[in-house]
Structure formats: C-alpha cells, structure tokens
C-alpha cells in the first residue's frame, strides 16, 4: 500500500512529533487518520470502505487490524507493538507547539462504552470541545481504583507542559478525593474539583456550615478560604467557590488551591466542554460507540488514531472559524452555542485538503479567553488567614 501524495505532510508531521513509533507504525497511523477523515468515522468498516479505491478490501482491512494488535497476536508474531503510553507526552507537546494561549485547561473524566469498557481520559478543553491527550482503558463494570491510573497519566503529561503555561485541571464530583486533589497540585498546576453541595466547611473557630448555605439565591457566588473535612488524613485548607447561576437547580461547589481573588468563579463551567469532546468521539464525530472491540490495549491504540485526527481537525476548524476575525489576540469566551462546531468546520476543511481543493492548514490552536462573571452576578469574597488557634489545623 502506497500513501497518496496528499498525505505526505501528515506522515512527516507524525514522524517528527511521535518519534517513539517505528516508521511502519507511523505509516499505519497515517493510514488510519486519513481513512477516518475520509470516512467521517473511526469505525473500522467505514475506514476500510473509504480506502478501497487505493487497495483491495481485504488488504486494507488486514493492514489496519494488524496495526491495532499486540505483537504476539499479529499474523507474524513479534515483540514490537504500538506503545500508546509513550505517545502521551509527545502528543501534548505536538498540540502545544501551536498553542497561542497563556493558560492550558485540562479536564479529567471517564466515559463508557455501554457496560463493556470504561475510558479514563485527560483532555485539553478547546472551543466548546476537547482533544484527548492521555487515556487508560478499563474493562467495564469491574471494581478497581482509578487514582493509580490517573496518577500515571498525569505524570506522563507533566514534562510536556512548558513553564510559561498555567494549567487548570477540572474534575467532576465522581472523581473527588483529597488524595487526587493533592496529586493534581504542582508548580503552575491548579485543581478545580467539584464536590457535593453539602460538604462541610470550617470558616473560623466555632463556625462551620454546609457549602450551599453560603449563597442565598440564584445570581450569587461566594469565594473564600476554608478547611474541608474534619478527619486529619483528609483535611484540606483550600479556596472554595460556591456559584449559583440561572438554569441550575442548586449551587456548584468547587475546591481549588488558587487564591480567592485569582480564581474565576465561572472557570469550572468549562468542564462541560469535555462532554462535547465525548460526543465528538462518539455519535457526532468518530462513532466510537459503534466499536466492537473489547481488548483494552487495542481500544487504546484506536484512541490514538482518534486523538491525532481530532488534533488536526480542531486546527483546521480554528483556521475556518477565525478566517473572518480581524482583532488580534485570543477570541472572547463564547456564552452561547456555536451555529457550527469547530470540529465540523475542521472535518470539512480536512476533507477538502485530501481532495486537493485547498492547502494543508497550519497546526495552530488559539484558545478563547477564560469566562468572566456577568454584571448580574453578586460575588462575596472571604479570605481569612489559616485559623492557627483552631483544633482543625490544615496539614
């Protein structure tokens, strides 16, 4: 099988940015990405059908399947296979090579394939979507701790982030634990983790309350320092953000290590973009929910295909969306839904590139500004020093 000449820039970029892959593995990844964009789907059957003009059906099908298999499972058993974990840091470096922002917003969240598979995913949030940069695939409906795999993913990504960037790491209530909160803290890395609305806070000696009691009604927010948890092993001295906006039945409660006057009360809302990223990976984009694969290692390799394809699609979509924008600097934060997603813009542009109707887009990503509170929101700040005379001393 010979790659079309239009794919050579993609093949060269993969070779330069993912050097841990062998040349044959780089070429196989190029075929997969090219086929996924042409098919507008990551499903094997559709990718193979999109490539049958270039080689016989069975040849293409077997070639793509071999790329996903462990070395011992290949038709010619060998000791080499695509090691996905070694690609996480290079993949993030590749993304950040074209990043034009001072903050990097990550989100951690699981997604499932029915009751068959669970994927723990770290994604870069970008323009109402998300680009996966690290993941761990687990069999579905099986007990087991998630902290250890998440720690491995985060440790793999940290060396790839330059010191100039401030990193915000967002996680929902299902992942809350003091251990994960401490794990996320690092120089220039800051957790924003949502917790239950009734979590108990110790504000000063003799005063404690449930977090949701700090906001009286909709359009109010409370930001301040407090102790969370009475148990010494779980105790944290953190900044608490309690926000109640219109359209929500109850306030959000978010914990972070950022100072009260630094953290934005609406920053945690960006976590919803990872849901858009999962929809992109599934029925609105790459059709991952139709996969019949059950082996976690093969699924993890398939995700590498979807991650690289998503990176290029978002870069192409950025070029399309910014084509008519004349103001320099990052675009303002969007408060409403886009008429057409950046992903759909980019997918259409890349298909035009492969049809040789336009040149390859630059790998350029320009994140939107972080959201700011509107004039209708009343914010109360509370920032006392650590209560030295309290029995609830922070660790």
Please, which pLDDT band fits residue 385 given cuts at 50, 70 and 90?
low
Mean pLDDT of 41-57: 94
**Which of 33-47, 337-351, 380-394 is predicted with the least confidence, judged by mean pLDDT?**
380-394
* 338 or 218, higher pLDDT: 218
Please, which pLDDT band fits residue 386 given cuts at 50, 70 and 90?
low
**How would DSSP label each residue in 209-272?**
EEGGGG--STTEEEEEEEEE-SSGGG-EEEEEEEEE-TT-SS-EEEEESS-TTTS-TTGGGGGG
Mean residue pLDDT of the chain comes to: 91
pLDDT at 314 over 80: yes
189 and 275 belong to one structural domain: yes
Domain stop point among 47, 82, 117: 82
Predicted structure pTM score? 0.93
Cα first-last separation, the chain: 60
For residue 273, is it within any domain?
yes
For residue 306, is it within any domain?
yes
For residue 220, is it within any domain?
no
pLDDT at 389 over 60: no
Q: List C-alpha distances in Å: 186 to 45, 190, 221, 285, 362.
A: 43, 7, 27, 34, 32
60 and 143 belong to one structural domain: no
What's the confidence (pLDDT) of residue 272? 93
What's the confidence (pLDDT) of residue 71? 87
Domain stop point among 82, 111, 135: 82
What's the confidence (pLDDT) of residue 394? 38
140 and 47 belong to one structural domain: no
Please, which pLDDT band fits residue 35 given cuts at 50, 70 and 90?
very high
Domain stop point among 48, 82, 116: 82
Mean pLDDT of 218-232: 89
Mean pLDDT of 79-107: 95
110 and 172 belong to one structural domain: yes
Mean pLDDT of 145-171: 94
pLDDT at 77 over 50: yes
What's the confidence (pLDDT) of residue 152? 95
- For the chain, the domain total comes to 2
The b-or-e profile of 160-169 (16+ CB within 10 A means b, else e) is bbeeeebbbb
**Which of 4-13, 256-265, 325-334, 354-363 is predicted with the least confidence, judged by mean pLDDT?**
325-334
For residue 298, is it within any domain?
yes
What's the confidence (pLDDT) of residue 326? 66
What's the confidence (pLDDT) of residue 395? 34
Question: Percent of the chain scored above 90 by pLDDT?
Answer: 77
354 and 367 belong to one structural domain: yes
What's the confidence (pLDDT) of residue 391? 39
For residue 218, is it within any domain?
no
What's the confidence (pLDDT) of residue 186? 82
The CA distance from 246 to 325, in Å, is 31
190 and 63 belong to one structural domain: no
Please, which pLDDT band fits residue 156 given cuts at 50, 70 and 90?
very high
pLDDT at 392 over 60: no
Mean pLDDT of 349-378: 94
Mean pLDDT of 234-256: 92
Burial bucket for residue 256 (CB in 10 Å: 0-12, 13-18, 19+): buried
Please, which pLDDT band fits residue 205 given cuts at 50, 70 and 90?
low
For residue 149, is it within any domain?
yes
pLDDT at 377 over 80: yes
Query: What residues are paired with 240 via a beta bridge?
Result: 224, 255
For residue 393, is it within any domain?
no
What's the confidence (pLDDT) of residue 308? 98
187 and 311 belong to one structural domain: yes
Residue whose structure tokens are 């220039």 = 188
The CA distance from 43 to 65, in Å, is 12
Mean pLDDT of 227-254: 89
Mean pLDDT of 62-73: 93
Residues contacting 320, CB < 8 A, separation 6+: 342, 345, 346, 348, 349
60 and 188 belong to one structural domain: no
What's the confidence (pLDDT) of residue 76? 83
**Which of 189-193, 270-274, 324-328, 380-384 is predicted with the least confidence, judged by mean pLDDT?**
324-328
The CA distance from 133 to 87, in Å, is 9
For residue 203, is it within any domain?
no
Where in the sequence is the domain holding 22, given as residue range(s)?
1-82
Please, which pLDDT band fits residue 374 given cuts at 50, 70 and 90?
confident
What's the confidence (pLDDT) of residue 277? 95
159 and 286 belong to one structural domain: yes
289 and 367 belong to one structural domain: yes
Mean pLDDT of 376-390: 72
**Contact present, 88 and 133 (Cβ < 8 Å):** yes
Question: Percent of the chain scored above 70 by pLDDT?
Answer: 95
158 and 288 belong to one structural domain: yes
Nearest one of 194, 201, 261 to 226, comparing CA atoms: 201
We report the CATH number of the domain holding residue 363 as 3.30.420
Mean pLDDT of 169-186: 92
63 and 187 belong to one structural domain: no
What's the confidence (pLDDT) of residue 206? 63
pLDDT at 104 over 80: yes
């Amino acid at each position: 099988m010979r790659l079309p000449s239009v794919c050579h820039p993609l093949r060269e970029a993969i070779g330069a940015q993912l050097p841990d892959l062998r040349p044959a593995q780089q070429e196989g990844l190029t075929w997969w990405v090219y086929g996924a964009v042409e098919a507008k789907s990551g499903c094997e059957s559709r990718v193979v059908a999109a490539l049958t003009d270039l080689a016989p059906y069975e040849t293409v099908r077997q070639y793509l399947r071999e790329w996903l298999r462990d070395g011992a499972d290949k038709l010619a058993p060998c000791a080499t296979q695509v090691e996905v974990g070694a690609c996480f840091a290079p993949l993030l470096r590749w993304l950040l090579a074209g990043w034009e922002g001072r903050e990097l917003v990550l989100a951690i969240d699981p997604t499932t394939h029915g009751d068959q598979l669970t994927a723990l995913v770290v994604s870069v949030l970008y323009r109402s979507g998300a680009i996966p940069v690290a993941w761990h695939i687990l069999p579905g409906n099986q007990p087991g701790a998630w902290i250890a795999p998440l720690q491995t993913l985060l440790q793999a990504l940290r060396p790839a982030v330059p010191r100039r960037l401030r990193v915000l790491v967002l996680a929902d209530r299902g992942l809350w634990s003091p251990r994960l909160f401490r794990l996320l803290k690092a120089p220039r890395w800051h957790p924003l983790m949502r917790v239950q609305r009734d979590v108990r806070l110790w504000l000063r000696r003799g005063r404690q309350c449930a977090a949701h009691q700090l906001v009286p009604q909709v359009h109010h927010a409370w930001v301040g320092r407090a102790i969370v948890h009475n148990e010494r092993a779980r105790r944290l001295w953190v900044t608490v953000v309690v926000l109640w906006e219109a359209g929500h039945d109850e306030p959000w409660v978010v914990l972070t290590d950022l100072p009260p006057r630094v953290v934005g009360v609406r920053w945690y809302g960006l976590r919803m973009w990872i849901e858009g990223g999962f929809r992109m990976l599934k029925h609105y984009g790459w059709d991952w929910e139709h996969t019949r694969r059950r082996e976690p290692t093969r699924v993890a390799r398939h995700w590498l295909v979807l991650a690289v394809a998503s990176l290029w699609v978002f870069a192409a979509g950025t070029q399309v969306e910014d084509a008519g924008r004349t103001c320099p600097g990052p675009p303002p934060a969007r408060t409403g839904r886009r008429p057409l997603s950046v992903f759909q813009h980019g997918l259409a542009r890349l298909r035009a590139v492969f049809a040789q109707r336009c040149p390859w887009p630059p790998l350029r990503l320009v994140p939107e500004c972080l959201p700011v509170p509107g004039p209708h929101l009343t914010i109360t700040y509370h920032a006392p020093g650590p209560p030295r005379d309290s029995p609830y001393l922070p660790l």
